[in-house]
């Protein structure tokens, strides 16, 4: 998917790229690790809460990247498994069905308002947290709490 997207962007903007540039880009992304401020507080959070991932990435990408997060996960769900990408409600419904859970069972943390927090709010999730990395614009009316780090969230959760 990343390789295809890279090649489409190059075509759209008339950028001549080496024939293997898209593959090299996709392979490079696979080598990225988590933000440095994530593993320690995520592990601490996992000692008190069941951690779950719902990602638009595919299974093979998460197989490589999840171990780098340094925490144990109760569930890891992908768009590939669900057959739908976020923000489609069906992706979230897939996760809920697999966990036999309800929206009120979650504290959901995301860096993205459009792909996570907005649809989840519309689906009845109420414990929503924006980990603000400056990626998404502020959206009013979606009742999420904004934090700058997982350490800050852990403090709010009393852990």
- Could you tell me which residues come within 8 angstroms of residue 71 by beta carbon, excluding any fewer than 6 positions away? 39, 42, 43, 45, 46, 51
Q: Containing H/E element for 78?
A: strand 75-78
The model carries a pTM of: 0.87
Q: How many CA atoms lie within 13 A of 53 on its CB side?
A: 21
- pLDDT value for 20: 87
Alpha-carbon distance values, 84 to 5, 39, 79, 88, 110 (Å) = 17, 28, 5, 7, 18
Domains of the chain (ranges; CATH) run 1-31 (no CATH), 34-156 (3.40.50.1000)
β-strands 52-55, 75-78 pairing: parallel
- Per residue in 106-141, pLDDT (tens digit) is 999 999 999 999 999 999 999 999 999 988 888 989
Q: What is the model's pLDDT at position 27?
A: 84
pLDDT per residue as tens, the chain (159 positions): 677 888 899 999 999 988 888 888 888 888 888 999 999 999 999 999 999 999 999 999 999 999 999 999 999 999 999 999 999 999 999 999 999 999 999 999 999 999 999 999 999 999 999 999 988 888 989 999 999 999 999 999 999
Task: Give the pLDDT of residue 30.
Answer: 83
**What number of helices (H) and strands (E) belong to the chain?**
8, 5
Cα 122 to Cα 144: distance, rounded to the nearest angstrom: 12
Give alpha helix (H) positions in the chain.
2-13, 21-30, 39-46, 59-65, 79-82, 89-99, 118-122, 150-156
- 76 by Cβ neighbours in 10 Å (0-12 / 13-18 / 19+) ranks as middle
Instruction: Give pLDDT, residue 120.
Output: 97
State the pLDDT at residue 135. Answer: 87
CB 92 within 8 A of CB 73: no
Tokens representing residue 1 in the block? 């998917």
């Amino acid at each position: 998917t990343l390789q295809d997207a890279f090649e489409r962007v190059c075509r759209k903007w008339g950028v001549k790229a080496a024939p293997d540039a898209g593959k090299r880009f996709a392979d490079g992304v696979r080598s990225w690790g988590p933000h440095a401020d994530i593993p320690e507080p995520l592990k601490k959070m996992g000692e008190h809460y069941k951690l779950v991932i719902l990602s638009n990435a595919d299974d093979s990408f998460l197989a490589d990247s999840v171990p780098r997060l340094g925490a144990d996960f109760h569930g890891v769900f992908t768009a590939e498994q669900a057959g739908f990408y976020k923000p489609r409600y069906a992706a979230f419904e897939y996760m809920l069905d697999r966990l036999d859970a309800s929206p009120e069972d979650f504290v959901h943390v995301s860096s993205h308002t459009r792909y996570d927090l907005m649809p989840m709010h519309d689906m009845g999730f109420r414990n929503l947290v924006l980990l603000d990395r400056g990626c998404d614009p502020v959206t009013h009316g979606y009742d999420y709490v904004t934090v700058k780090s997982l350490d800050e969230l852990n403090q709010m959760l009393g852990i």
